[in-house]
Chains A and B, each alone.
Chain A
Amino acid sequence: MSTTRRTRQLAASAVAAALGVTALAGCGSSDDSASGSGGTKGSGSKTVTLVSHDSFNASKDVLKEFTKETGYTVKVLKSGDAGVALNQEILTKGSPRGDVFFGVDNTLLSRALDSGLFTPYEAKGIDRVAADTRLDADGHRVTPIDTGDICVNYDKKYFADKKLAPPQSFDDLAKPAYKDLLVTENAGTSSPGLGFLLGTIATYGEKGYQDYWKKLESNGVKVVDGWEQAYNEEFSGSAGGKKAKADRPLVVSYASSPPVEVLYAKPQPAKAPTGVATGTCFRQIEFAGLLKGAKNEAGGKALLDFLISKRFQEDMPLNMFVNPVAKDAKLPELFTRFGATVDRPTTVAPDLIAKNREQWVQSWSSLVVK
């Protein structure tokens, strides 16, 4: 009857619309396929694809320079935070979306290496890279690219007003003078939160860290889920925190956060509004590696060489707020003037982290998160 014909009519218009969408898809992706399909042609390819997390950044000039030197154009694919991005690579192992993966850090390194994600490659110029960052020096499956320190930051104004010395060490944080001042992130969902927990484990050992956290707990530590809330909502020293009338002058953040506060303030202040408690730092090292099954292996190798070149290493600090690993790379003035020097950061071996991570986080949760 009429109803069936009506359905057919609807179906016809739907097909037409769907075709329209496909046509749209066609023109939208034309620029993409021009560069993307180049990757499938193997040795003749002019595109090299870098898969990374959301924090990856490089200035345009530097990427252009790479193209000029090698003839390869870099296509960047970002997908979520560091853990998510790595897990996506593990899931697509053998049929990767790109050629090089950047952004696996020492807390996740064992997971990446155990899953056989990377093809070994010794990057040119690796001898210029600080030895203590080369955690896979024999296997060459990953190349260290940068380091960053997770440390407690403090609100300078708060401590000046109270005429109180800011804390310097993990021990200090548990003292009554700093009661109800610290906010940190959930170690189960946030990488600075996990880094801070690992820092306490490195300091007090696998037995002592639980006692330490009991002390922190009774000293009024506040735990929120992510860095954004901790830093922008709870920390009184940050720009966001000031607007939110935040009341916690201590936060777990990065050693590079004070220079960032200076760079993105208008007008730029003569001194950073925040400082770093340098005795509370946990060192993160970030690595990159050539993905197994990469369509453009030659390009990937050239990109790895470039990532530890002086040019790229010096570009990195102001784009990602991390420290270079190449010994010949100079830090920008912003870092030397406003940043903190962390002499003896804590660290935990990657295989130890891989083995105990879940259990550590779980016992931490039962102590602090109720």
Chain B
Amino acid sequence: MAVPVAFFALFFAYPVAAIVGRGLKADGVWQFGRIGEVLTRPDIRDVLWFTSWQALASTALTLLIALPGAYVFARFDFPGKQLLRAVVTVPFVLPTVVVGTAFLALLGRGGFLDELWGVRLDTTVWAILLAHVFFNYAVVVRTVGGLWAQLDPRQEEAARVLGAGRFAAWRRVTLPALAPAVAAAALMVFLFTFTSFGVVQILGGPGYSTLEVEIYRQTAQLLALPTAAVLTLVQFAAVGAILAVHAWTVRRRETALKLVDPARTARRPRGAGQWALLCGVLLTVLLLILLPLGVLVERSVDTAGGHGFDFYRALASVDAGGGTFLVAPLEAIWNSLQYALVATVIALVIGGLAAAALTRRAGRLVRGFDALLMLPLGVSAVTVGFGFLITLDKPPLDLRTSWILVPLAQALVGVPFVVRTMLPVLRAVDGRLREAAAVLGASPLRAWREVDLPLVRRALLVAAGFAFAVSLGEFGATVFIARPDRPTLPVAVARLLGRAGELNYGQAMALSTILMVVCAVSLLLLERIRTDRSGEF
């Protein structure tokens, strides 16, 4: 536990505390009166109210739409399932500017809905809610579906044999087992939507502002550190409260589960009902996720002289950007992969250690640490970035211009995913299996390798996939630190979009499409690794 604690103290708690302290202190004296001053401002109260209710609505809508998806991906076998599972995760990593573009094409003027029924949703709150579902669909499908696929369906069947109805069996057997995962997924979606930045800015227009947008504005634009510090504390408090509730519900429901190989639980759908469910989910995915992504691809090949790959060819040359970059935009792919790989390794090590420690020990202190690990998701990138600047500024830790800062910042956001995904599975491992192995003469290492690892491997890969995807798409922190000669994909896209001209716009779309493909392929590879080895157990 020492390693994750040290990591978080140094790269999270210290920088954030320093920047908040700078805002709340004047001439060395704490000014807690500022908290009251800021919170009673009517504009800030409006922001708080909007932030809360849109996050609640978004989370509810996401669960409603994505839970059937989680079931279908967990229990049904159909052609192209792996590919589709990788593809639904893609939105998660795309820069919000790009996604906003795609979404406007569907919901805005002349969009899909407009042409069909004359319905336009841009600058309404519906656009924000739907975009949040688009972004977070994968969180539910992967977190809930990952566990669901490993629940033994025979337990439910046994209950039915013993006379329970279909619904009662599901409610008594499957639901309690799934509840921690559903809670974890809901929590993550809530956190993401509560701290939503890009989606709200683009689709909502300036009339809507979340706490995160306001923190950014106060810090980055106005350098109003006192106000930003108060808002950061409010966000802390809110996130802390959510985490406390979550920890309480999870503790009440966690039990050791019998986990099985997911390959054995999935089968072809049978009967009209199951087919209808499958088709419904596929249709949702098609309309909500594939269509916006398709728009991006279409725009990336839509050149002045008809459809073609001109924009992609332009990506390979240094000059086409007119000096936008010191290197060809294509090199950004390689940069992104390298950063994301290092960030994933850091996140897995830190998150894995933390999850293991949390499984092994109990007590208030450990539970507090559990909540603490989630905080990076609830703290704005600009706060962390500015905190880095004023704390990591002395040798040997003058990392401000070092490239390692990028994966470190990305890992901060990746760790919570690793912990959340690993924890339910780790806690569900039946300790008796391990004891049985020990009784039969296995060394602790062997017992861990033979008992824990096979059961945990899938969760580990899911976690790695998440951490990798988050790192690939991370923009907020990266943009502060990425060096101009080594831009990441999202940074490169943003720079291209920041300029007028057809070639720049086209290249931005082409690069987004590549980001999409790189992400899908990476996730697909991860799934492959899993299935290749699943035969071992």
Closest chain B CB from A78 CB (angstroms): 5
Of A129-137, A163-171, A261-269, A306-314, the stretch lying at the interface with chain B is A261-269
Q: In the complex where A6-B448, A225-B205 touch, is A266 in contact with B100 (Cβ < 8 A)?
A: no
Asked if residues B484 and A244 are in contact (CB atoms below 8 Å), the reply is no
* Interface check A5, CB cutoff 8 A: yes
| Chain A residue contacts of B444, Cβ below 8 A | 2, 5-6, 9
Look across to chain A and name the residue whose beta carbon is closest to the beta carbon of B343.
A21
CB distance from B420 to the nearest CB of A (A): 18
Which A residues touch B498, using CB under 8 A? 54-55, 227-228
Contact B500 A20 (CB under 8 A): no
Q: Which of A211-263 contact B (CB under 8 A)?
A: 223-229, 231-233, 238-240, 243-247, 253-254, 257, 260-261, 263
Residue-wise interface mask of A (265-294) relative to B, using a CB-CB cutoff of 8 A (1 in contact, 0 not): 111000000000000000000000000000
Beta-carbon contact of B501 and A17 below 8 Å: no
> How many residue pairs between the two chains, A and B, have CB atoms under 8 Å in the bound complex?
201
Within 8 Å CB of A257, what residues of B?
A: 500
- Assess the A29–B403 pair: CB atoms within 8 A: yes
Whether A21 and B346, one on each chain, are in contact in the complex, defined by CB atoms closer than 8 angstroms, is: yes
Shortest Cβ distance from residue B22 to the other chain A in the assembled complex, whole angstroms: 8
- Tell me which of A58, A79, A318 contacts B480 (CB under 8 A): A79
A266 to B302, CA, bound (A): 12
Residues from chain B with Cβ under 8 Å of A228 in the complex: 97, 497-498
A7-B356, A60-B326, A88-B386 known; A267-B304 Cβ under 8 A: yes
In the complex, what residues of A have CB within 8 A of residue B525's CB? none
Q: Are A225 and B499 closer than 8 Å at their CB atoms?
A: no
Residues in B whose Cβ lies below 8 Å from that of A358: 222
Residue A36 is within 8 A (CB to CB) of chain B in the complex: yes
Complex: chain B residue closest to A84, CB-CB: B220
With a cutoff of 8 Å between Cβ atoms, the chain B residues found around residue A18 in the complex are: 3, 346, 349
With A5-B444, A77-B401, A77-B484 in contact, is A265–B503 under 8 Å at CB? Answer: yes
Determine whether A353 belongs to the interface, using a CB cutoff of 8 Å to chain B.
Answer: no
**Closest CB in chain A relative to B112 CB, distance in Å:** 12
Residue from A88, A232, A319 within 8 A of B389 (CB atoms)? A88
- Contact assessment for B503 and A266 in the assembled complex, using a CB-CB cutoff below 8 Å: yes
Interface bits B91-118 vs A (CB < 8 Å: 1, else 0): 0000001001100110011100000000
B500 A231 Cβ-Cβ under 8 A: yes
Q: Does B425 touch A at the CB level, under 8 Å? A: no
Q: How far is the CB of A363 from chain B (nearest CB, A)?
A: 12
Task: Determine whether A11 belongs to the interface, using a CB cutoff of 8 Å to chain B.
Answer: yes
A97 adjacent to chain B (CB < 8 Å) = yes
B378-398 contact mask (Cβ, 8 Å, vs A): 1 or 0: 000010001001100110000
Q: How far is the CA of A81 from the CA of B221 in the complex (A)?
A: 9
Q: Chain B, 417-455, contact with A by CB distance < 8 Å: what is the 0/1 string?
A: 000000000000000001000100000110110001000
- Scan residues 125-165 of chain B and give those whose CB is less than 8 A from a CB of chain A: none
Q: Is the CB of B105 within 8 A of A77?
A: no
Does A264 contact B480, Cβ atoms closer than 8 Å? no
With A6-B444, A76-B484 already in contact, the answer to whether A14 and B352 are too (CB < 8 A) is yes
A91 within 8 A of B: yes
Instruction: Please measure, in the bound complex, the distance between the C-alpha atom of A32 and the C-alpha atom of B485, giving whole angstroms.
Output: 11
- In the complex, whether B495 has a CB less than 8 A from a CB of chain A is yes
Q: What per-residue 1/0 map shows which CB atoms of B325-359 lie under 8 Å from chain A?
A: 01000000000001000100110111011001100
Q: Judge whether A141 is part of the interface by a CB distance below 8 angstroms.
A: no
Q: How far is the CB of B150 from chain A (nearest CB, A)?
A: 21
Contact: B349 with A264, CB < 8 Å? no
Complex Cα distance, B45 from A117, in Å, reads: 35
For A36, the chain B residues whose CB sits under 8 A away are 401
Q: B323 and A10: CB pair below 8 A?
A: no
Q: A260 contacts B499, CB within 8 Å?
A: yes
In the complex with contacts A11-B353, A80-B480, A239-B206 CB distance below 8 A: no
A147 adjacent to chain B (CB < 8 Å): no
A: interface residue count bin: 35 or more
B residues contacting the other copy or chain, number (CB 8 A): 80
B205 lies within 8 A of A224 (CB): yes
Q: Does B210 contact A (CB under 8 A)?
A: no
Residue of B nearest to A246 (CB): B109
User: In the complex, what residues of A have CB within 8 A of residue B241's CB?
Assistant: none
Q: When the two chains form the complex, which single residue of A24, A264, A318 contacts B500, counting CB atoms closer than 8 Å?
A: A264
**Scoring A residues 1 to 34 as 1 if CB is less than 8 Å from chain B, else 0, what string do you get?**
0110111011100110110110011001100100
Is there an interface contact between B324 and A57, defined as CB atoms closer than 8 Å? yes
With the chains together, A355 CA to B41 CA distance in Å?
A: 21
Interface residues of A in 72-110 (CB under 8 A from B): 76-81, 83-84, 87-88, 90-92, 95, 97
Instruction: Give the chain A neighbours of B503 by CB distance below 8 A.
Output: 264-266
Q: Which residue of B lies closest to A262 (CB)?
A: B501
Tell whether A369 is near chain B: CB-to-CB under 8 Å. Answer: yes
Q: Are B219 and A87 interface neighbours, CB within 8 A?
A: yes
B158 to chain A, nearest CB (A): 31
Could you tell me the distance between the alpha carbons of A136 and B202 in the complex, rounded to whole angstroms?
38
B404 within 8 A of A: yes
Q: A91-B389, A266-B502 are in contact. Are A318 and B104 (CB under 8 A)?
A: no
Tell me whether A345 is interfacial, beta carbon within 8 Å: no
B97: A residues at CB distance < 8 A: 228
Q: Are B505 and A240 within 8 A (Cβ)?
A: yes
B401 smallest CB distance to A (angstroms): 6
Q: Does B217 contact A (CB under 8 A)?
A: yes
Check if A225 sits within 8 Å of B448, measured CB to CB. Answer: no
| Interface presence of A111 (CB below 8 A) | yes
- CA of A223 to CA of B206, assembled, Å: 7
A59 sits at the interface (CB 8 A)? yes
Residues of the B chain whose Cβ atoms lie less than 8 Å from the Cβ of A6? 356, 444-445, 447-448, 452
The verdict on A232 contacting B101 (CB below 8 Å), with A2-B447, A92-B393, A188-B206 known, is yes
Chain A residues with CB under 8 A of B382: 84
In the complex, residue of chain B having the shortest beta-carbon distance to the beta carbon of A56: B484
**B302 touching A9 by the CB < 8 A rule?**
no
The 7 closest A-B pairs by CB, nearest first: A264-B501, A239-B502, A245-B110, A264-B503, A260-B500, A2-B444, A240-B505
A–B pairs, 18, beta carbons within 8 Å: A7-B360, A11-B3, A14-B353, A28-B403, A57-B323, A76-B326, A84-B220, A88-B389, A97-B400, A226-B202, A231-B500, A232-B101, A232-B505, A239-B502, A240-B502, A243-B299, A261-B502, A264-B502
For the A-B complex with A84-B220, A244-B108, A264-B504 known, give 9 more contacts whose Cβ atoms are closer than 8 Å.
A2-B444, A17-B348, A60-B326, A79-B481, A91-B386, A189-B206, A239-B506, A266-B304, A319-B322
